[in-house]
C-alpha cells in the first residue's frame, strides 16, 4: 500500500513538471529566436526585369539629309566603343525573335541595333565600323525605296548580308508611300487605313488581304535576293500602332495580319514610353532614337543589365527608380530618388506617366509606400508622417506618428507598420501594437508576404522571419557581407524581391 502511494505521488509530480514546462516554454516562445543560421540564396535578374534594349538609327554620315535623322560616323563609333568596352552582346534578328517567341534565353547584357529608311550610309559608313567592333545590326528596308537617291541598292544589300554583321528585315514593300483614304483625296498610311476604292473604302477583308500580300511580297523579295528570314516588320513613316486611336484606325486588323504571318511589329517609340491597354505587347517593341546628344552611359546605366529601371517619357525626360511596392495583382508602384511616382506592369513597363511628386518633402531613402484599398499610403520616415492619398497622389488625410517607421504593408486590406524598435502596429485610425519582435536597429528594413514578415538587418547581414499574426519569431538567416539588401515586397513565405544596393540591381532573395 505504501509503495502504491509513493508511485502515485511520483507519477503526479512527473505530470505536473511536464505541464509546467509546457506553459513556461509557451509563455517565452515569442522571445526565443532559433540559433540555427541558414544561408539565403540570392538570385539576380528576376523574370520581371527587361532583358534587352533596342537602339534606332537612320542616317550615319558626315553630311546631313533634310528630313532624315542622322548622326556622324564619329558619334556612331562612340556608341559602338561604349557597347564593346562594356561587354554588351549584339543581338541578331533571329536571337530577338527566338527570345520573344520561343523563350530562348539571351545573354544578360544584350543590345539590338536597328536601322530604318534603307540609307546608303549604312553600307558606306556603318558596315566598316561594325566589322571593326564585331557588332551586329538589323536594317529595315522598304522595297519601293531601293535604288532611289541616297538609298541602298540590291548590290549594297547583297554585300551587307554577306558581311556577317547585318540582318535584313522589312519596312514593307509598297507601304512607304501614302494613298487616298477617302472621297476627297486625303492620303494616309498604307498599313493603318482602308484605302479608297473609287466610290467606297476597302472592306476589312480587302484591307487585310492587301496587307498580307504586301508583307509576303516584301519577305519573298528579301529571301530570294539576300536569303533573309522572315522575322520583323518595322512600321513605316515613324508610325506607332500604340499611339493611334484604337477605335478609329485599322491597328487591330493589322496586328491580326502580323500574327497570321508569324512576324513581329517593331515600334518607333522610346523605351518604356507610356504603355497601352491592349492584351498583346509583342508587336510594340520599343526603340530608343539615337542622336548626336545621346549618351549611352546614361540610357543604359544600369537598367538593361538587370539593374536600375530607366523610364523615358514622351518628351525624353528620364529617371531611374529603385523602389517597388505592389499596388495590385498586375501593377507596381515605383518611385525614384526625387519621389516621382509611376505605375508599372509586371514587366516594370510604365502604364501611366510620372505622377505628382511626394506630398511632403523627402528623398527616396525616406519614403515608404503601400497600397490600401484603391488608395496609396505614404510614410515620410524623416518626419514620421503617414499620408493617405488617392491614385493621383492627391492627399486625402495625414497622421503624425510618434515612432520611426521601418516598413509599411497591406495584408487583406489591413494596414501594418514596423518601427525601428521592432514593434509591429496595425493602423486603424491610430497605430495599435500587435506584436513586439524585439528586433531593433537603425538599419532594419522589412517587407511582407501574407502573414510572414521578412526583417532585414543589413548591419548584421541577417534576415529574420516572423509570423506577426501568430506572434512568433520563426527563423534567422544570414547572407553574404558583399550584399546590401533593401527588401521591397514579398513573393511567398520563402521569397521576396529586394534592391541590392552595392551592385544597384533588383534581386530575388530565396531563403531555404
Q: Which CATH class is domain 40-45+306-511?
A: mainly beta
Q: Band the pLDDT of 412: cuts 50, 70, 90.
A: confident
Confidence (pLDDT) at 120: 94
Q: What is the pTM of this model?
A: 0.55
User: 98-117, pLDDT tens digit by residue?
Assistant: 888 887 888 877 899 999 98
* CATH code 2.130.10.10 region(s) in the chain: 40-45+306-511
Identify the top-confidence range among 6-15, 261-270, 445-454: 445-454
* CATH code 3.20.20.370 region(s) in the chain: 52-304
Give the range among 19-23, 341-345, 393-397 with minimum mean pLDDT: 19-23
Q: Decide if pLDDT at 18 tops 60.
A: no
Name the E strands within 361-504.
Answer: 367-372, 375-380, 385-389, 395-400, 405-411, 414-419, 423-427, 431-436, 444-449, 452-457, 462-467, 472-478, 485-492, 495-500
Length of the chain: 512
Confidence (pLDDT) at 46: 34
Mean pLDDT calculated for residue range 309-336: 60
Q: For residue 435, what is the DSSP state?
A: E
User: 74-92, pLDDT tens digit by residue?
Assistant: 999 999 999 999 889 999 9
Q: Band the pLDDT of 190: cuts 50, 70, 90.
A: confident
Q: Mean pLDDT of all residues in the chain?
A: 77
Confidence (pLDDT) at 104: 83
Q: Which of 471, 465, 474 is nearest to 492 (CA)?
A: 465
Q: How far apart are CA 416 and CA 432, in angstroms?
A: 9
CATH of 52-304, one of 3.30.2270.10, 2.40.160.60, 3.40.50.10190, 3.20.20.370: 3.20.20.370
Asked if residues 263 and 222 have their Cβ atoms less than 8 Å apart, the reply is no
Q: How far apart are CA 212 and CA 319, in angstroms?
A: 40
Q: Decide if pLDDT at 223 tops 70.
A: yes
Confidence (pLDDT) at 268: 63
DSSP 119-178: BTHIIIIIHHHHHHTT--EEEEEEGGGTTSTTB--HHHHHHHHHTTSEEEEEEESSTTSE
Mean pLDDT calculated for residue range 476-491: 84
Asked if residues 413 and 429 have their Cβ atoms less than 8 Å apart, the reply is no
Q: How far apart are CA 375 and CA 372, in angstroms?
A: 5
Q: Which ranges of 169-301 does DSSP label H, i.e. alpha helix?
A: 204-226, 251-261, 296-299
Asked if residues 509 and 485 have their Cβ atoms less than 8 Å apart, the reply is yes
Q: Decide if pLDDT at 491 tops 60.
A: yes
**84, HSE (Cβ side, Cα atoms, 13 Å):** 14
Confidence (pLDDT) at 316: 38
Amino acid at each position: 500500500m505504501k509503495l502504491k502511494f509513493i508511485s502515485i505521488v511520483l507519477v503526479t509530480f512527473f505530470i505536473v513538471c511536464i505541464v509546467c514546462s509546457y506553459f513556461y516554454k509557451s509563455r517565452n516562445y515569442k522571445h526565443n529566436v532559433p540559433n540555427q543560421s541558414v544561408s539565403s540564396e540570392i538570385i539576380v535578374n528576376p523574370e520581371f526585369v527587361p532583358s534587352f534594349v533596342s537602339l534606332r538609327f537612320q542616317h550615319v554620315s558626315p553630311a546631313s539629309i533634310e528630313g532624315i535623322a542622322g548622326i556622324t560616323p564619329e558619334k556612331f563609333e562612340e556608341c559602338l566603343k561604349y557597347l564593346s568596352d562594356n561587354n554588351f552582346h549584339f543581338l541578331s534578328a533571329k536571337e530577338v525573335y527566338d527570345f520573344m517567341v520561343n523563350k530562348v534565353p539571351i545573354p544578360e547584357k544584350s543590345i539590338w541595333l536597328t536601322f530604318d529608311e534603307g540609307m546608303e550610309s549604312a553600307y558606306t559608313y556603318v558596315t566598316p565600323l561594325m566589322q571593326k567592333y564585331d557588332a551586329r545590326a538589323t536594317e529595315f528596308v522598304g522595297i519601293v525605296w531601293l535604288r532611289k537617291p541616297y538609298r541602298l541598292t540590291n548590290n549594297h544589300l547583297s554585300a551587307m548580308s554577306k558581311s556577317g554583321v547585318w540582318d535584313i528585315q522589312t519596312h514593307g514593300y509598297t507601304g512607304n508611300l501614302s494613298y487616298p483614304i477617302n472621297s476627297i483625296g486625303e492620303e494616309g498610311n498604307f498599313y493603318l487605313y482602308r484605302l479608297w476604292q473609287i466610290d467606297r473604302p476597302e472592306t476589312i477583308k480587302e484591307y487585310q488581304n492587301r496587307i498580307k500580300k504586301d508583307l509576303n511580297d516584301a519577305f519573298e523579295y528579301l529571301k530570294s535576293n539576300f536569303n533573309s528570314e522572315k522575322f520583323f516588320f518595322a512600321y513605316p513613316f515613324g508610325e506607332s500602332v500604340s499611339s493611334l486611336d484604337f477605335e478609329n484606325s485599322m491597328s487591330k486588323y493589322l496586328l491580326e495580319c502580323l500574327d497570321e504571318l508569324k512576324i513581329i511589329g517593331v515600334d518607333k517609340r522610346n523605351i518604356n514610353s507610356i504603355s497601352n491597354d491592349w492584351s498583346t505587347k509583342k508587336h510594340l517593341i520599343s526603340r530608343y532614337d539615337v542622336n548626336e546628344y545621346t549618351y549611352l552611359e546614361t540610357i543604359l546605366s544600369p537598367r538593361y543589365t538587370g539593374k536600375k529601371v530607366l523610364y523615358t517619357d514622351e518628351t525624353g525626360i528620364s529617371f531611374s527608380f529603385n523602389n517597388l511596392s505592389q499596388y495590385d495583382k498586375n501593377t507596381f508602384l515605383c518611385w525614384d530618388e526625387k519621389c516621382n511616382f509611376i505605375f508599372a506592369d509586371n514587366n516594370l513597363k510604365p502604364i501611366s506617366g510620372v505622377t505628382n511628386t511626394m506630398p511632403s518633402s523627402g528623398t527616396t531613402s525616406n519614403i515608404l509606400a503601400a497600397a490600401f484599398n484603391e488608395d496609396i499610403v505614404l510614410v515620410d520616415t524623416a518626419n514620421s508622417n503617414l499620408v493617405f492619398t488617392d491614385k493621383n497622389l492627391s492627399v486625402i488625410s495625414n497622421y503624425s506618428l510618434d515612432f520611426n517607421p521601418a516598413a509599411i504593408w497591406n495584408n487583406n486590406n489591413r494596414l501594418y507598420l514596423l518601427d525601428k524598435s521592432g514593434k509591429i502596429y496595425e493602423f486603424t485610425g491610430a497605430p495599435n501594437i500587435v506584436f513586439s519582435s524585439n528586433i531593433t536597429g537603425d538599419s532594419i528594413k522589412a517587407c511582407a508576404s501574407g502573414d510572414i514578415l521578412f526583417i532585414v538587418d543589413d548591419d548584421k547581414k541577417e534576415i529574420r522571419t516572423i509570423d506577426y499574426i501568430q506572434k512568433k519569431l520563426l527563423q534567422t538567416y544570414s547572407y553574404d557581407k558583399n550584399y546590401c539588401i533593401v527588401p521591397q515586397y514579398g513573393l511567398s513565405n520563402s521569397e521576396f524581391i529586394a534592391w541590392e544596393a552595392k551592385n544597384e540591381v533588383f534581386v530575388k532573395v530565396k531563403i531555404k
